[in-house]
Amino acid sequence: SRRTRARGTPEQRVAAMGAAQVEPHVTPFRPEDLTPSTPFPPDAAKPDPVPCDKLGRIDAVPFPGKFCGTEDACVTALPVDFCERLAQDGLGTPSWCWETRPPTCSNKRLACSDPTVVDRNRSELAGRPWCVRPADLRRYDGPVEIRCDASGADARQEGS
């Protein structure tokens, strides 16, 4: 078979093919065109956020109460050595790990004791749900259980 080559200038060849084949047909992207059987839920259908601590004992700033912030992961039971391990690498610990308590003055005539620094993790937080930054979880490098549905959206991203 012998191949034939169209003759004429490019403009003449385009005219011979027809304008419908040459003009681009671009439409805006509409997701419903790809999945017509899966409607998008209305905003009112979004589920309520899942609490990390149903008793509302999370007193970490900026989201005190029951829920974790968008960047925090919900640890179901904070390990007893969490703050101690973070202190070992020299990069510091979260502000909620330690608390400076005022001196106790039982008698006004006697000198008061010095303020004390308390490891809140060992004294009151160990074993209870808590919101922790993913970077601190990586530094802890130990076994922890995470409740994904109560964690913030940013903490659920791959690689966080």
Render pLDDT for 22-74 as a digit per residue (tens, 0 to 9): 555 566 766 666 655 555 555 555 667 788 888 888 877 566 788 888 889 99
Q: pLDDT: is 3 or 121 the higher one?
A: 121
Q: Which two tokens stand for residue 159?
A: 């690689």
Do the domain assignments include residue 127? yes
Give 150: exposed, middle or buried? Use CB within 10 Å, 0-12, 13-18, 19+: buried
Q: Across residues 127-144, what is the average pLDDT? A: 90
Does residue 106 register a pLDDT over 80?
no
Residue 83 included in any domain:
yes
Give the residue, 157 or 13, on which the prediction is more confident. 157
Amino acid identity, position 114:
D
Structurally, how many domains does the chain consist of? 1
pLDDT of residue 74: 92
Q: Is residue 43 part of a domain?
A: no
Q: Which domain holds residue 77?
A: 73-96+122-156
Q: Is residue 89 part of a domain?
A: yes
Question: In whole numbers, what is the pLDDT of the chain averaged over residues?
Answer: 77
Can you tell me whether residue 131 is helix, strand or coil?
Answer: strand
Q: What pLDDT score does 36 carry?
A: 53
Residue 136 has pLDDT above 60, yes or no: yes
Q: What's the whole-model pTM score?
A: 0.60
pLDDT at position 31, please? 63
Has residue 7 been placed in a domain? Answer: no
Q: Tell me, yes or no, whether 90 lies in a domain.
A: yes
For the segment 99-107, the average pLDDT, to the nearest whole number, is 78
Q: Do the Cβ atoms of 71 and 155 come closer than 8 Å? A: yes
Q: Is residue 66 part of a domain?
A: no
Please state which of the ranges 63-72, 76-85, 129-138 shows the lowest mean pLDDT.
Answer: 63-72
Q: How far apart are the first and last CA of the chain?
A: 62
Selection from 75, 76, 97 nearest residue 86 by Cα: 97
Domain contains 54:
no
